[in-house]
Structure 1
Amino acid sequence: MITVPEGTDVVEATASLLAEGVGDGLPVVPPTPSRVSTMLAGTPDTVLGHVPPLFGSLTPRLVATCCVLAGAPPAAFPVVLAAATACLAPELNLLGVATTTGTAAVAMIVAGPVATRVGLTHGTGMLGPGPHTNGVVGRALALTLATAGGAWPGTTTMATTAQPARYTCCLAEDPDGPWGTSPDTVTVLAIGGTAEVLPRDDRPDPDAVLDPLADALAGAVRAAGDPARGADLTQAVVLPPEVAARLAPSFPTADDLADALRTRGDAALGGHPCAAAILPIVAGGPGIKMLHLPGWMGGSRAVTLPM
């Protein structure tokens, strides 16, 4: 059981836990019994599954402990628990994500009123520092997967460089987007990084937005060196509200937009698939700079669970 005595300070807790292979190198909130119990809030403790690469047990108590370590608020516990459970779905291919020499990381997208209750932001700077809780919630998921899975650099995880999203990557969907928002859900997907994408110009027609996004989708597959890799991955595009508003008149649903992007991305690859699925997400602050979350080229599909 991962706990430290009441009154343990941050420096001591961080050092002692890291020596046991628990942590991410950043300071942690000491997981004292009282803090873990408060986070767990009476949730029955049971084994929900086993997390690769070493297939340790995923339990609510472990998730609660990692939420404490990360500094997440108690309201985040059920969200992180759902996200960690979603990561066990075979189509995510967490074993591959955890052991690849590539840069794969698990990103987490929260939709519905739960995002507001947790304190997540869908606005300016959502993936960066700020007063919002995106960073600590994403970190709680990363710590959960690493702790339960026994993932440790140089032993079970062999990423040549890794990437910052392995510390945390969590964003919320804008509930006021033109395609609406789902009820409370959490989605997890494996990404190779993040990349900025700009519309070609300010013309109102959709080509100015779709063409550079399609180039980004196709470019991620090209960079992997094998056009067949696009057939088994999810790629995501994050559209700031004003860009989404430009596209909405031409695409009544997010699925319509995803289909159009897939058609163009496939064409840019000479008929090879740019993705098995494309996930459009409306989020971000003012501006037109979009974000591409390239899928992990080892093969991984997004998984969504209701809260």
Structure 2
Amino acid sequence: MAPDGDAIPDGRVEAPDGQVEVPHGRVEAPDDPVEFMAWATARGWGDGLPLIPPTPERVAQFTAAAGRPAGSVLLEVPPANAWCTVEKLAVNACMAGAAPEAMPLMMAALEAMAERPFDLFALNTTTSSVVPCLFVNGPARDRLDLPYQAGCFGGAAGAGPAIGRAIRLVMRNVGGQVAGETSKCVLGQPARVVGLVMGEWEERSPWPPLAERRGVGGNAVTVYGTIGTMDIADIAADDGRSLAWVIGQSLAYVGTNAYISHWGAEVMVVVPPPWADMLAAAFPSIEDVQEALWRNAGHQEDRFPETHREWLAERDRISPDGTAYIVEQPSDVIVMCAGGLGNLHAGGLHNFGPTRAITRPF
């Protein structure tokens, strides 16, 4: 860090309290929403959806809610390696339609994305469809109107899509992520526009909250890089052990990114309350649930073609009993309770290997 007030690269200045700040910049833009949409899209600022003009008055509401100076740097966003300040987040959050009250959550999420082993550079430039998703615990779930019951992956009205979109706009507009150019993503996914932001239904979970299990109590966000969501459906299982088999086998599809890389990937399972109750009745603790899911999330090596068996063997992916597990150990299976009471479905979210989940308070 530079001494108080000394200039450091890219025009940044360090404040006396050690907080790095960036001088503000301004551009003139139309205030009319239709004109602003065309103007911003022509400059590559948009994602194809309508944008709210970030007037100084609107942006000021966001920076006030942040509780930190507008020029405070949150993180350096690759691949452009540009500094994202509180104000830059505020501008993008305003355009996305998020509420100012969500600023602490979004700031914590972005700062978590800057930490290792959450590899933001790999996430922003890979051929994979990976996107950072936000999973929230604590009273803020209701205060911010985040979905965690029916339709929580998408479809439930609430603040989740706008918050996720704000994070995505930061990655585009600050980080310079451009599909087919700086990002080599082959197919993408809808969450590359609106993200995935949801809570855990803590009150209906038989286990401690996800963030608490990860060492953070109260209001907390877990940032997880996923290549997409998959539905796991079953109408036959009538006990937790058979259900764990269905979920585990479904997770271990051989085309997932975890099977084409070295150890290091995680996998997340979101189970609705009825299925969570079935699993809890069969397994005494959440660790036992993770163990059961992990043991079922693998395939015998002879199921793979010879080329793939060689690939797995070279990466030490085949266990002594001849099983190739999707992840290295039970703790790499992240389990959370959310969703409607309609039963019959769970959600799988497969991880992009170089990134691992990070949990932070806010």
TM-score over 0.5 (shorter chain): yes
**1:179–1:252 contact (8 Å) kept in structure 2:** no
1:145 Cα shift?
2.1
Query: Does residue 179 of structure 1 match 2:214?
Result: no
Query: Does residue 232 of structure 1 match 2:264?
Result: yes
Q: Distance in 1 between matches of 2:190 and 2:169?
A: 13
**1:13–1:30 contact (8 Å) kept in structure 2:** yes
Looking at CA atoms only, which structure, 1 or 2, has the larger radius of gyration?
2
User: Over residues 8-60 of structure 1, what are the superposed CA-to-partner deviations in whole Å (9 max), with x where a residue is unaligned?
Assistant: 12222222222222221211111111111101115213123211111110211
- The secondary structure found in structure 2 opposite 1:29 is coil
Partner residue, 1:8: 31
The 5 Å alignment of 1:41-80 reads 41=64, 42-44=67-69, 45-80=71-106
Consecutive unaligned residues of structure 1, counting only runs of 5 or more, are: none
Q: Select 2:351's aligned residue among 286, 289, 295.
A: 295
Aligned length: 303
Q: Distance in 1 between matches of 2:257 and 2:279?
A: 31
Partner residue, 2:333: 278
**1:230–1:273 contact (8 Å) kept in structure 2:** no
Partner residue, 1:305: 360
User: Over residues 138-180 of structure 1, what are the superposed CA-to-partner deviations in whole Å (9 max), with x where a residue is unaligned?
Assistant: 1111112222211112221121111111112111111211113
Partner residue, 1:92: 118
**1:129–1:135 contact (8 Å) kept in structure 2:** no
Consecutive unaligned residues of structure 2, counting only runs of 5 or more, are: 1-23, 213-217, 302-321
Q: 1:68 to 1:281 in 2, by over 3 A?
A: same
- The secondary structure found in structure 2 opposite 1:102 is coil
- The secondary structure found in structure 1 opposite 2:117 is helix
User: Over residues 114-157 of structure 1, what are the superposed CA-to-partner deviations in whole Å (9 max), with x where a residue is unaligned?
Assistant: 11111101011122234311111111111122222111122211
Partner residue, 2:196: 169
Query: Does residue 28 of structure 1 match 2:51?
Result: yes
**1:195–1:293 contact (8 Å) kept in structure 2:** yes
Q: Quick one: percent identity of the two aligned structures?
A: 31
**1:138–1:170 contact (8 Å) kept in structure 2:** yes
User: Over residues 266-297 of structure 1, what are the superposed CA-to-partner deviations in whole Å (9 max), with x where a residue is unaligned?
Assistant: 4666433312511111110122210111112x
**1:3–1:31 contact (8 Å) kept in structure 2:** no
Q: Select 1:212's aligned residue among 246, 261, 264.
A: 246
Q: CA RMSD in A?
A: 2.2
Q: Distance in 2 between matches of 1:121 and 1:159?
A: 28
User: Over residues 240-270 of structure 1, what are the superposed CA-to-partner deviations in whole Å (9 max), with x where a residue is unaligned?
Assistant: 1111111112334433322221222246664
Q: Distance in 1 between matches of 2:34 and 2:126?
A: 31
TM-score (normalizing by structure 1):
0.91
Q: Distance in 1 between matches of 2:167 and 2:173?
A: 10
TM-score (normalizing by structure 2):
0.78
**2:147–2:156 contact (8 Å) kept in structure 1:** no
**2:74–2:107 contact (8 Å) kept in structure 1:** no
